[in-house]
């Protein structure tokens, strides 16, 4: 049995806003019966205000609760305010969802986004074209959706992506592709502090300080997500000596990590000609 919060239980037992709005201004459908979740969302607008929201859902307890939560959250909001709601907010509203059920909240967010697009008069294409290539054939999950949940929820593993989107949860043949996407997104997520990197010469002290900061704030968080870590061993002019720790230490692609992550980021944030040397 799942550990559902009281809020989830309350909402699947007595979901609020179930049904249709006959003269709805917007009706969107997401999901499919193949995946085992589907949601139809009805919105009634007054100017740019969402005055009513109703839903119908095919899905498990948390799908019903997520849909109900979504409608409660957006009622009375302006379209702009509603546009800020993400799956995380839905999860928060519910007091949490089991990991494997996160995709239910994503379905809510998808429906909302689609609805807002419609309201704004943007074309809502057949989802699949709109969302880029389908990565997971089993569940019809697109590349863009995967990228988005990774970004918005700071996901770092295939398992997490599966929990949020179902992609990879059946035959598994899309897992390598999901892994690639995670790697690409991870390389991007690194928050960019004020770029100081330039070609101007800098003092040794300043350089050391920047190297330390970049490792601490930019590089380490990425490695730690994969259960790894990094240690700064020494700095000698523009040579930076580091050692990988944790998972990264035994990782077969540690060279790649060194070059593509550590060196690249130090070059970006400290100095363009910095050289990183791995101490084994």
Q: Which stretch binds another protein (CB under 8 A): 57-65, 88-96, 180-188, 219-227?
A: 57-65
Site string for another protein, 204-233 (x = CB under 8 A): ------------------------------
Question: Per CB under 8 A, which of residues 128..157 are in contact with another protein?
Answer: 138-139
Q: Compute the distance between CA of residue 228 and CA of residue 261 in angstroms, rounded to an integer.
A: 13
Judged by CB, which is closer to another protein: 136, or 242?
136
Residue 140 interacts with ligand FES (CB under 6 A)?
A: no
* CA torsion through residues 120, 116, 124, 45, sign: negative
Out of 10, 25, 36, 189, the residue judged to bind another protein by CB under 8 A: 36
Residue 181 interacts with ligand FES (CB under 6 A)?
A: no
Residue 125 interacts with another protein (CB under 8 A)?
A: no
Q: Is 174 a catalytic residue?
A: no
Q: Which stretch binds ligand FES (CB under 6 A): 169-177, 212-220, 224-232, 245-253?
A: 169-177
Out of 61, 108, 168, 228, the residue judged to bind ligand FES by CB under 6 A: 168
The distance of closest approach from Cβ of residue 180 to ligand FES in the complex, given in angstroms and rounded to an integer, is 14
Please state, in angstroms and as integers, the Cα–Cα distance from residue 39 to each residue in 35, 110, 248, following that order: 12, 10, 41
CB 105 within 8 A of CB 91: yes
What, of ligand FES, another protein, none, does residue 172 touch, CB below 5 to 8 Å by kind? ligand FES
Out of 161, 167, 242, 262, the residue judged to bind ligand FES by CB under 6 A: 167
| Contacts with 276 (C-beta within 8 Å, 6 or more apart), sequence order | 240, 242, 258, 259, 262, 263, 266
Please state, in angstroms and as integers, the Cα–Cα distance from residue 271 to each residue in 197, 218, 247, 266, following that order: 5, 15, 28, 7
Residue 54, classed as helix, strand or coil, is strand
Q: Compute the distance between CA of residue 157 and CA of residue 225 in angstroms, rounded to an integer.
A: 9
CA 142 to the chain's CA centroid? 13
CB-facing half-sphere around the CA of 98: CA atoms within 13 A: 11
Q: State the catalytic residues.
A: 35, 104
Residues that bind another protein (CB under 8 A): 2, 12-13, 15, 18-20, 29, 32-34, 36-40, 56-64, 100-101, 138-139, 162, 166, 169-170
């Amino acid at each position: 049995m799942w550990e559902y919060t009281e809020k989830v239980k309350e909402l699947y037992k007595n979901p609020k806003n179930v049904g249709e709005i006959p003269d709805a201004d917007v009706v969107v459908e997401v999901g499919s019966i193949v995946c085992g979740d589907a949601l139809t969302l009805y919105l009634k607008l007054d100017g740019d205000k969402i005055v009513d929201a109703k839903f119908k859902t095919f899905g498990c307890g948390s799908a019903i609760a997520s849909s109900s939560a979504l409608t409660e959250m957006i009622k009375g909001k302006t379209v702009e305010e509603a546009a800020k709601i993400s799956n995380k907010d839905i999860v928060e509203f519910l007091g949490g969802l089991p990991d494997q059920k996160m995709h239910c909240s994503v379905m809510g967010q998808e429906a909302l986004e689609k609805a807002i697009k419609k309201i704004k008069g943007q074309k809502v294409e057949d989802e699949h074209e709109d969302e880029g290539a389908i990565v997971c054939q089993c569940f019809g999950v697109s590349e863009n959706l995967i990228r988005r949940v990774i970004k918005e929820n700071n996901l770092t593993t295939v398992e997490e992506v599966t929990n949020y989107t179902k992609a990879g949860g059946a035959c598994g043949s899309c897992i390598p592709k999901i892994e690639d996407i995670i790697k690409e997104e991870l390389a991007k997520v690194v928050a960019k502090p004020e770029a100081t990197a330039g070609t101007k010469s800098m003092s040794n002290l300043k350089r050391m300080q920047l190297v330390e900061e970049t490792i601490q704030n930019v590089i380490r968080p990425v490695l730690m997500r994969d259960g790894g870590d990094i240690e700064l061993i020494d700095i000698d002019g523009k040579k930076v000596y580091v050692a990988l720790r944790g998972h990264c230490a035994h990782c077969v692609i540690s060279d790649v990590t060194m070059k593509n992550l550590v060196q690249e980021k130090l070059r970006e944030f400290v100095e363009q000609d910095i050289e990183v040397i791995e101490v084994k």
